[in-house]
Amino acid sequence: AVDAPCLVHLIQEIDGMDTAKFGGKAAGLARMAAAGIPVPPAFVIGTDAYRAFRDSGDLPENLMPQVDRAMRVLEGHTSRSFGGLSALPLLVSVRSGSQVSMPGMMDTVLNLGITCRGAQRLAQETGNADFAVDTWVRFWRMFAEIVLDLEAEVIEHAVVSLLDQTRREPSEENFLRLETAVLGAIVAQGVNEVSADPAWQLRRAIAAVFESWDSRRARAYRAHHKISDELGTAVTVQAMVFGNLDSRSGSGVAFTRNPNTGARELYGEFLAGRQGEDLVSGSATPSPLGAPGGLSEAHHRELADHGHRLEEMYGDAVDIEFTVEGDRLYFLQVRPAKRTAAAAVRIATELVDEGMLGRAAALKRVSVEQLKKLLRPAFEPDVLVRTRPLLEGIGASPGHAYGIAVLDADRAATVAASGERVILVRPTTSPQDIRGMLASRAIVTAKGGALSHAAVVSRALDVPCVVGCEAMEVDLAARSFTVGDERLEEGAPLSVDGATGKVYSGLLPLEPASQATEQIDRLLVWADDRTQASFWAGSVGAADAQTALRQSPRGFGVVALTELMIADETLGDFIDAVNDLGQQPDRKSTQDRLACLAYQACQRLMLESAGTPIDLRLPNLGSPRAQRMIGSWASLAPRLFLPLGLKGLYVALLRGIADAARETGHAQTTPLVPGITAASELQAFKRAAAGLGLNQVGVVLQSPAGIAEAHGIAEGASAVWVDLREIIRTYYGYPSALSFADDVFETYVADGYLAHNPRTALGSKLAELFAGVAAVAAHRPEVRIGVECGDGAALSLVEDLYRSGVRLFSLPTTALPSARLALGQLVV
Ligand code: ADP
Ligand code: MG
């Protein structure tokens, strides 16, 4: 006979690196068990079974017999019996777990296996009737909610009048009375298939956990985080340990490093006398790990020691879910810790310093998104000092944001879609609120601790969040909230500081982000070391030269002379002069005017950037930009549309540049002639420049024709920049009026007209073209040959260019850090 496929695996027998098959949770349990860290006995059903379940709509036929066999093993390990009558009861949790951590998005059922007889025995065994009742009720609440899709209140309602009696006398009969009431209430809700048989419950719970992979909230989370729906979830079945056993017991969460700051310290919370679910749901307020009366010193040490082992194993900061049962500490989960952007940078660099992580791997520990967020604006400090907060709670996820208060998650999503900045204000949040949370600039809750749903999710999303604003009462029906005597309506303007936990009335001004920290700089230098790429800051003006210099670019370029004139407010004069020159090309006074305008435009930037080379692009009057700027464009003299069509024009501009360079002592200015397609054009330009004392000249190539001649052109040039946007546009022949900024291509691609979006991907033909540019660059290391990626160039395009071999980039200052990191992550 052919062996049936093995769908069920004991935790100690699986490969802890195979997270695709077993999910991160079971894999983590396996790795802990292998390292001798105490883990309750467990087995796992792999994602292959999930796929079979999804495809057929039912659990695979041979699954439950294998589960039964594995349950026998758990019974052996624990000396308990699942659903049996004779021994103490074995209770299990049925836990979801996929390859990618999706905190709180899927379902887990606790305490499964409890029967009336079992509950009575549990009370007897522990001498703790409250414990037995609590455990029994929690099981039914969770089972009703997760498996039967009912409200947990249905269960609470059904049993409330019977609880006291059962607590006083935890007899099998009394539990039977509870059971009858619960089953009756469930049936009354229209559920016609329900049973008190643990074997039946186990089967249903496994199916329900599989189904939770496809819940609305899980799908929304995956869509947002670009996680594939195909991964599926594994199911871990694990013997229960009880944090609600007695007052010494409890459950907690520990981070090996502070998830807000990244500081190296055991950080977390412990909830005495309760099961872990209370902690995760935020329904009770726990105390910090070190607090007196909480976790014992010995357990604290054990947690720290094992935590360190786990950091070494994962090469990363981890978070740990644990439970103390009586005097024993159990580890229930480990995973790379969710962290804020600031913590991510600190942890990545410190792990390298501590020798736990290589530099390449460290680059992947900080996402481009996180880096961007770190470089985002914050409230002005002196305004903060002067302003009295409306509310104070626990700062659960740092960051500054303002917006209008909205009290309902669905409405928050709608209001945000209309373009408003929304602050979501809630009593607490639950997984149902995820859509609204995604759309909000900040989240404020009245209840919950630093590990409540709102706190955990907002940290993962890096949305500013303040929880536990005890002074606030939210009245959902009246759509208002009160703080003391003050009553605020939905729509009230708020400003939130997620680091300090302060919420302010009104809209506080935001100022640009503080400059890159030392740690970010280190990471980016590591990235550059790997990529061997270098970066110039494009479109820099005198006013932002200093800001740009802090990103340590190799130079300023490509800087457009016309951009400098815009900043100078002299562009209008320039256009008038160009028009005049078009009519009378040899008129000396017009040429002087043009020289003077060029001089003015670049002289200040030269002063601000002593020692930093500037690649300065002359205006290209044939360009789409010029078309937009010059109203009388169509009536310009035809010669003006050619790069070197009117000698009087470019010589005048070169003269102004030469004067400015001489006067400011800026020796490294390279004028660039745009739009040429032949080496002979460059030679003419070069001669004109040399006559004015400018010995370095370069070009900007704007068409495939120019690229085709790049080899010959590069021979005489100091710099060759390829204008990415213009190459894409002219390659496809798109008219200049087509804006690359608003993404018209997206729907076009979605409709199936094009295979890829030209705005976000090069495609193989353009990639070849740029590979040609890269080859010329490799052939001529003495010439600066790079690609100019102007405003709004997608990061993915920059990555494609890198893959084509391009190693020199010009990018807007604000795009530099992201690009450096993203390229660093590309290099394996
Ligand atoms: P999630 O994926 O939402 O974190 P878990 O499967 O980790 O769900 O379960 C949630 C909580 O339930 C855990 O943090 C833990 O406290 C508790 N739990 C799960 N399994 C057990 C168990 N076998 N014994 C005790 N507590 C458990
Ligand atoms: Mg968990």
This model of the complex carries an ipTM of 0.99
Check if 95 has its Cβ closer than 6 Å to any atom of ligand 1: yes
CA 510 distance to own-chain centroid: 22
Reference 333, options 358, 353, 306, 298; nearest CA is 306
Given a contact cutoff of 8 angstroms between Cβ atoms, the answer to whether 27 and 314 are in contact is no
Q: Which residues contact 160 (CB under 8 A, 6 or more apart)?
A: none
Reference 96, options 134, 53, 129; nearest CA is 53
Say yes or no to pLDDT of 773 above 90: yes
Burial profile 275-302: b = 16 or more Cβ within 10 angstroms, e = fewer: bbbbbbebeebbbebeeeebbeeebbeb
Whether the bond between 558 and the residue before it is cis, its omega within 30 degrees of 0, is yes
Which tokens hold the place of 205?
């719970």
| Higher per-residue pLDDT: 388 or 633 | 388
Angle between helix 647-664 and 588-608 (nearest 10): 40
Reference 307, options 267, 344, 347; nearest CA is 267
Which residue has a Cα nearest atom 3 of ligand 1? 104
Q: Determine the atom of ligand 1 nearest the C-alpha atom of 95.
A: 6
Q: Dihedrals φ, ψ of 667, to 5°?
A: -85, -10
CB atoms within 10 A of CB 143: 26
Q: Dihedrals φ, ψ of 108, to 5°?
A: -140, 135
Check if 93 has its Cβ closer than 6 Å to any atom of ligand 1: yes
**Residue that has been written with the tokens 């090469």 in this structure:** 315
Burial profile 637-653: b = 16 or more Cβ within 10 angstroms, e = fewer: eeebbebbbbebbbbbb
- Distance (Å, whole) CA 645 – CA 639: 5
- Distance (Å, whole) CA 34 – CA 45: 19
Please provide the distance, in angstroms rounded to a whole number, between the alpha carbons at the two ends of the chain.
46
CA of 108 to the centre of ligand 1 (A): 7
Given a contact cutoff of 8 angstroms between Cβ atoms, the answer to whether 536 and 810 are in contact is yes
Which tokens hold the place of 689?
């420049």
* pLDDT interval class at 416 (50, 70, 90): confident
CA 263 distance to own-chain centroid: 20
Check if 332 has its Cβ closer than 6 Å to any atom of ligand 1: yes
pLDDT score at 588: 95
Task: Burial-class residue 719 by CB neighbours within 10 Å (0-12, 13-18, 19+).
Answer: buried
Mean predicted confidence (pLDDT) in 267-286: 81
Check if 120 has its Cβ closer than 6 Å to any atom of ligand 1: no
Which residue has a Cα nearest atom 10 of ligand 1? 277
Q: Determine the atom of ligand 1 nearest the C-alpha atom of 236.
A: 6
Burial profile 707-717: b = 16 or more Cβ within 10 angstroms, e = fewer: bebbeebbebb
Check if 319 has its Cβ closer than 6 Å to any atom of ligand 1: no
Check if 280 has its Cβ closer than 6 Å to any atom of ligand 1: yes
| Higher per-residue pLDDT: 33 or 448 | 33
Domains and CATH numbers, the chain: 8-239 (3.30.1490.20), 250-339 (3.30.470.20), 376-511 (3.50.30.10), 555-668+681-699 (no CATH)
In residues, how long is the chain? 828
Q: Determine the atom of ligand 1 nearest the C-alpha atom of 104.
A: 3
pLDDT in tens, 597-606: 999 999 999 9
pLDDT in tens, 608-617: 998 899 999 9
CA of 332 to the centre of ligand 2 (A): 8
CA of 781 to the centre of ligand 1 (A): 59
Given a contact cutoff of 8 angstroms between Cβ atoms, the answer to whether 536 and 554 are in contact is yes
* Type and span of the H or E element at 426: strand 422-426
Which tokens hold the place of 393?
């709670």
Mean predicted confidence (pLDDT) in 527-540: 95
Which tokens hold the place of 637?
């003299």
DSSP state of 512: P
pLDDT score at 567: 77
pLDDT in tens, 790-801: 866 789 999 999
- Distance (Å, whole) CA 29 – CA 238: 10
Mean predicted confidence (pLDDT) in 349-368: 96
CB atoms within 10 A of CB 630: 19
Check if 108 has its Cβ closer than 6 Å to any atom of ligand 1: yes
Q: Which of 43, 95, 139, 335 to mutate to test the pocket of ligand 1 (most atoms within 8 A of CB)?
A: 95
Amino acid, res. 418: S
Q: Determine the atom of ligand 1 nearest the C-alpha atom of 280.
A: 14
Q: Which residues contact 748 (CB under 8 A, 6 or more apart)?
A: 754, 757
Given a contact cutoff of 8 angstroms between Cβ atoms, the answer to whether 235 and 44 are in contact is yes
**Range name among 565-569, 576-580, 687-691 with the lowest pLDDT average:** 565-569
Helix (H, G, I), strand (E, B) or coil at 263: coil
Angle between helix 588-608 and 571-583 (nearest 10): 150
- Distance (Å, whole) CA 530 – CA 617: 30
pLDDT in tens, 657-695: 999 999 999 999 999 999 999 999 999 999 999 999 999
pLDDT score at 741: 52
* pLDDT interval class at 286 (50, 70, 90): confident
Mean predicted confidence (pLDDT) in 573-595: 93
Which residue has a Cα nearest atom 20 of ligand 1? 93
Which ligand places an atom closest to the C-alpha of 279? 1
Mean predicted confidence (pLDDT) in 420-434: 91
| Higher per-residue pLDDT: 516 or 246 | 246
CA of 291 to the centre of ligand 2 (A): 23
* pLDDT interval class at 629 (50, 70, 90): confident
Radius of gyration of the chain (CA): 33
Q: For the chain, give the mean pLDDT.
A: 92
- Distance (Å, whole) CA 137 – CA 160: 10
Assign 3-class secondary structure to 329-380: EEEEEEEECCCCHHHHHHHHHHHHHCCCCCHHHHHCCCCHHHHHHHCCCEEC
- Distance (Å, whole) CA 78 – CA 71: 11
Q: Under the phi-then-psi rule, with left for phi > 0, alpha for psi from -120 to 50, and beta for the rest, what region is 296?
A: beta
Say yes or no to pLDDT of 230 above 90: yes
Which tokens hold the place of 177?
């009375």
Cβ < 5 A residues, ion ligand 2? 321, 333
CB atoms within 10 A of CB 191: 16
Amino acid, res. 507: L
- Distance (Å, whole) CA 380 – CA 737: 39
- Distance (Å, whole) CA 714 – CA 418: 50
Which tokens hold the place of 58?
């039912």
pLDDT score at 1: 42
Check if 333 has its Cβ closer than 6 Å to any atom of ligand 1: yes
Which residue has a Cα nearest atom 17 of ligand 1? 276
Check if 104 has its Cβ closer than 6 Å to any atom of ligand 1: yes
Helix (H, G, I), strand (E, B) or coil at 403: strand
pLDDT score at 480: 96
Mean predicted confidence (pLDDT) in 808-813: 94
Which residue has a Cα nearest atom 22 of ligand 1? 240
pLDDT score at 277: 75
Amino acid, res. 549: L
* pLDDT interval class at 378 (50, 70, 90): confident
CA 290 distance to own-chain centroid: 30
| Higher per-residue pLDDT: 31 or 641 | 31
* pLDDT interval class at 84 (50, 70, 90): confident
CA of 698 to the centre of ligand 1 (A): 64
Given a contact cutoff of 8 angstroms between Cβ atoms, the answer to whether 494 and 423 are in contact is yes
* pLDDT interval class at 739 (50, 70, 90): low
Check if 96 has its Cβ closer than 6 Å to any atom of ligand 1: yes
Instruction: Compute the C-alpha angle 537/541/544, nearest 5°.
Output: 75
Which ligand places an atom closest to the C-alpha of 101? 1
